[in-house]
Structure 1
Amino acid sequence: MENYEMPTVYLTFDDGPNQEMDEILDILKEKNIKATFFMIEPQIKNYSDVVKRLVNEGHFPALHSVTHDKSKLYEGDPLNVAIEMEQTRKTLHQVTGVDSRLTRAPYGSKPYMTDAFRNGLVQQGMKMWDWNVDTVDWKYHNSNPELILENAINGMKGLKDGNDPIVILMHVTKGTATVLPQLIAFIENEGYEFSAYQPDKHFSMNFWNDSRL
């Protein structure tokens, strides 16, 4: 009988960097876990030291637009998303020397990232990740952080019998940092391994099942 190999878990954090980043990085450092951070361009400039820190500590820096604004990204020119991601890429490269091509569309790729928008990313040589476990921490980080943990565990249990990698959506918030050690403990106890995104081991993880991304 073949040994069953557990899928790898990718912890991903959106909307940083901000004042909560150091606490999350401290937890990840203590646990020796690498994660992936989808960051907003003006905040990369404002928190350049913490961006340098996350790269130095082995995490992967990824792109999450300039404006994070639905009306600016998804209305009008279908190249808007690609243009914002390219600006974010350039700023990140200036700060860290890392040429990151991994993007995450604000609010997720469905329904906004139709063919024309996705074509723009492909033309820029970008990749795009969504997720398959949503903690809904954007909603509960202030009111009920324990629900973040519960949503993550239930989402993972729903994928228990699959072999696909597990990509967990979180945001850089105080509430998320509060429950992160418990989430890590659960994942470790279940026997999963953690990884940050690795460009040379890219796999498709988007709601459109677009294999180009």
Structure 2
Amino acid sequence: MVKKSATVLFAMLLILSTGFFTDSVSYAAEHRSSKVVYLTFDDGPNQYTPKILDILKRKKAHATFFMIEGNIKRNPKTVKRIIKEGNYPGLHSVSHSITKLYRGSSKNVAIEMEKTRQTLLKVAHFNSHLTRVPYGSKPYMTQPFRDALANKGFKMWDWNIDTLDWKYNRTNPGTITSRVKSGLVGKKGPIVILFHDSKGTAQQLPIIIDYLRKKGYTLQVYNPKHHIVMNFWGDRRF
């Protein structure tokens, strides 16, 4: 009887573990492909964020939003909507200032990200440790800065397609889409696209989403349980 029970238990564990293993392998295989894209938006939330959220909802897509601490305070309803609709909230500092972040103490970035984390937690009851440092991690996030950020348990994401929408969103929004298309050529592995919460980006977003899907790309939202490394330093801690 004991032997039979042990055999049944072993069989159940084997089935469960096999399912978990299969799911894990499936997820890993999907994310090694060149057909996974993360849409990410910086500097919000602001007056353009609701429009972007409308488009994402209509297109049944999700994105990751890296938010400024002051903008979180000023736009609590939008922050809550971002989360409610299945998007992921990330941290993008308090000051967005090269001088305040990268001059002086190597702890400055970690301090600002921690303040932003606490504000997000207070406003939306969401505890995020995903950061994107302003202007990207190179050249500013040298070893001491990265050590301080890692010691606080933060992750750090850059990107591998830059739309330069901050430059073109007013003068030539079509260039945003063109840069996405050209940026995809020859890229392998997960793709992270950098956008900003802006009028021109919102205008082009439906076109970009349709194009990505037509080309067979799957749009993903950041998931801390399946974190991928995406930083210019190749620092595996992040």
Q: TM-score, normalised by structure 1?
A: 0.96
Q: Does 1:181 align with 2:171?
A: no
Q: Does 1:51 align with 2:76?
A: no
The equivalent of 1:206 in structure 2 is: 231
Q: What is the SS of the residue equivalent to 1:158?
A: coil
The equivalent of 2:70 in structure 1 is: 42
The equivalent of 1:70 in structure 2 is: 98
Q: Does 1:139 align with 2:164?
A: no
Q: Does 1:24 align with 2:49?
A: no
Letter in 2 for 1:16: G
Contact 1:6 1:191 in 2 (8 A): no
Q: CA deviation at 1:40?
A: 0.1
- Structure 2: state its 5+ residue gaps: 1-29
2:73 and 2:33 map into 1 onto residues whose CA distance is 40
Letter in 1 for 2:218: E
1:56 and 1:204 map into 2 onto residues whose CA distance is 26
1:7 and 1:198 map into 2 onto residues whose CA distance is 17
The equivalent of 2:149 in structure 1 is: 121
- Structure 1: state its 5+ residue gaps: none
Q: CA deviation at 1:97?
A: 1.2
Letter in 2 for 1:21: T
Letter in 1 for 2:157: W
1:204 and 1:48 map into 2 onto residues whose CA distance is 29
2:62 and 2:89 map into 1 onto residues whose CA distance is 11
Q: What is the SS of the residue equivalent to 2:185?
A: helix
Q: CA deviation at 1:49?
A: 0.4
The equivalent of 2:197 in structure 1 is: 172
- Equivalent residue runs for 1:142-161 within 5 Å: 142-159=170-187
Q: CA deviation at 1:158?
A: 3.3
The list of structure 1 runs, each at least 4 consecutive aligned residues, that deviate by more than 2 angstroms after superposition, is: 3-7
The number of equivalent residue pairs is 208
The equivalent of 2:24 in structure 1 is: none
The equivalent of 1:8 in structure 2 is: 36
1:34 and 1:101 map into 2 onto residues whose CA distance is 19
Q: CA deviation at 1:98?
A: 1.0
2:228 and 2:203 map into 1 onto residues whose CA distance is 30
The equivalent of 2:23 in structure 1 is: none
Q: CA deviation at 1:5?
A: 4.8
Q: CA deviation at 1:157?
A: 1.5
Q: CA deviation at 1:6?
A: 4.4
Instruction: Give the counterpart of 1:94 among 114, 122, 126.
Output: 122
Instruction: Give the counterpart of 1:195 among 195, 198, 220.
Output: 220
User: Where is the helix percentage greater, Structure 1 or Structure 2?
Assistant: 2
Letter in 1 for 2:41: F
Deviations 1:8-42 (A, max 9, x none): 10000000000000000000000010100000000
CA 1:118–1:174: 2 relative to 1, 3 Å: same
The CA RMSD over aligned residues, in Å, is: 1.2
The equivalent of 1:103 in structure 2 is: 131
2:69 and 2:57 map into 1 onto residues whose CA distance is 24
